[in-house]
A and B are shown apart, each in its own frame.
Chain A
Amino acid sequence: MPPSIQEVKARHEARLMEKPGVVAVGVGRDADGRQAIIVSLDRERPDTRAAMPEVLEGYAVRVQVIGPVRAQ
């Protein structure tokens, strides 16, 4: 049994959240509708993007800019 995407995300999350500008990590879908680990940034960050893996234990990693998250 391959690990679930939740297990993989949980394993790598702390490391992903430490990268500059990362505000969120979640489980979503990529452009083709496949489950993916979604890394969200506060603004465009070329260095952080470059440091992100494309795949983690078989699951795609997608990076997107959502802006800073504030309590509303």
Chain B
Amino acid sequence: MAESLEATRSALREESRGLLARRNVVATGAGYKVTSGKRTRTPCIVCSVTRKMPASELSAADVVPATIRGVATDVIETGPIRAFQPPTGRFRPAPGGVSIGHRDITAGTLGCLVRKGGESFILSNNHVLANSNAAAIGDPILQPGPHDGGTLANDHIANLEAFVPISFVAPEPPSECGFAQAVIALLNAGCRVIGSGTRYRIVSIQQTPNLVDAAIARPLAAASVIDEIHGIGAIQGTVQGALGMRVQKSGRTTGLTTGEILQVDVTVNVQYGPGQVAQFTDQLLAGAMSQGGDSDSAVLDEQKRLTGLLFAGSDSTTIINRIEHVFGALGVTR
């Protein structure tokens, strides 16, 4: 048998160029032939094709012969083979799990698509799409986010549609406030120049418990987004998060990771910047499965049902908004 596999490899070396020149063939290799769904002990040359077609629809030169140099062949359908695309790249259409951000932030993660009034919107965090309350409705959203090279000229994918304001617990330190006021004044001057009716303001500081860090953006074109999650696929409905649930997410920074919901009914103080803290209630807490830039990854269970939106974490934990609160606060559905 070993000799026979050697013969197969030898034949493959001679023939792979000719096989790869045939229509639909995307890969060749030495393997064992699969007959009626079962792997046999017959070594063969395996041709991977984008799509299996009847020999009658192919020209004679494109048909993979049953044997080559006395070695059996097998044809399997793999679909097109693509280089793995890192989530920090530019995606069109853009799925959930890839880099996105308001033009004034670094970068976060596109959560998923949601529906409102019969239209599709991009769902992510307030701190990703609305710059932690600082953005104006209609502001441009870039994919990839600015930190990943996204520019307004080339990567403008959507405009901010709505956000749930975050209530911060502690006021910013005085020095920060002075800076913030200067920035706000500058931004408002810019608004007047471009004739925008929107004015920026420093958000009033009050202690109201938050349930979500969420916002939606309206895609400029329906074809620029796709209703699936990078590396996971289509979302299969929603489910309420519960203690012990195994979950997975696909995010800009750490890609596809898994974890377990270790706490429910969590009240947590989250830092948004120096001296800027917001308290959230009724959160889910999972083990470490994220880092900066992974907000706002959609969190799904093992059956790919959407259960929450990742928005914060520590070295050993990940904090997740319940999806039912996100949908309720924004008036959206799947």
A residues lining the B interface (CB < 8 Å): 6, 9, 13, 17, 23-29, 38, 40, 66-72
Which of B2-10, B46-54, B112-120, B286-294 contacts its partner?
B286-294
**Size class of the contact patch on chain B:** 35 or more
Q: Which of B188-227 contact A (CB under 8 A)?
A: 213
Instruction: Tell whether, in the assembled complex, residue A66 and residue B213 are in contact, meaning their CB atoms are under 8 Å apart.
Output: no
Q: Pick the contact of B319: A17, A27, A28, A69 (CB < 8 A).
A: A69
Segment among B19-27, B136-144, B176-184, B268-276 that sits at the interface with chain A: B268-276
Asked whether any CB of chain A lies closer than 8 Å to the CB of B265, the reply is: yes
Contact (A25, B290) CB under 8 Å given A67-B316, A69-B313: no
A24 touching B266, Cβ below 8 Å: yes
Q: Is the Cβ of B263 less than 8 Å from the Cβ of A66? A: no
A68 B271 Cβ-Cβ under 8 A: yes
B residues bordering A, Cβ < 8 Å? 108, 125, 127, 132, 213, 243-244, 262-272, 279, 283, 285, 290-295, 310-317, 319
Bound Cα distance from A69 to B314, whole angstroms: 4
- Closest residue of chain A to B213 (Cβ to Cβ) is A71
**Chain B residue contacts of A72, Cβ below 8 A:** 108, 290-295, 310-313
- Which residue among A13, A24, A28, A29 has the maximum number of chain B CB atoms within 10 Å of its CB? A24
Contacts of B125 in A (CB 8 A): 71
Tell me if A's interface is mostly helix, strand, loop or mixed.
Answer: strand
- The distance in angstroms between the C-alpha atoms of A24 and B291, with both chains bound, is 18
A28 touches B262 (CB 8 A): yes
Pick from A23, A26, A68, A70: contact of B263, CB under 8 Å: A26
User: Within 8 Å CB of A69, what residues of B?
Assistant: 268-271, 312-314, 317, 319
Contact A66 B312 (CB under 8 A): no
Additional A-B contact list (14), CB under 8 Å, known A27-B266, A72-B108, A72-B312: A17-B279, A23-B314, A25-B268, A26-B264, A28-B243, A29-B243, A38-B262, A66-B315, A69-B312, A69-B317, A70-B272, A70-B312, A71-B132, A71-B271
Residues of A within 8 A of B291 (CB): 72
Contact A67 B295 (CB under 8 A): no
A23 to B314, CA, bound (A): 10
Contact B269 A24 (CB under 8 A): yes
Docked pose: A28 CA to B315 CA in angstroms: 18
Complex Cα gap A23–B279 (Å): 9
Cβ–Cβ < 8 Å partners of B295 in chain A: 71-72
Could you list 16 examples of A-B contacts with CB < 8 Å? Answer: A13-B267, A17-B279, A23-B314, A24-B285, A25-B268, A26-B285, A27-B263, A66-B314, A67-B315, A67-B317, A69-B269, A70-B312, A71-B132, A71-B271, A72-B292, A72-B311
Give the nearest-CB partner of A25 in chain B: B267
- B311's contact among A17, A26, A28, A71, by CB below 8 Å, is which? A71
| Complex CA distance for A29 and B262, rounded to whole angstroms | 7
- Residues from chain A with a CB closer than 8 A to the CB of B312 are 69-72
Once the chains bind, are A67 and B285 in contact (CB under 8 Å)?
no
Residue of A nearest to B295 (CB): A72
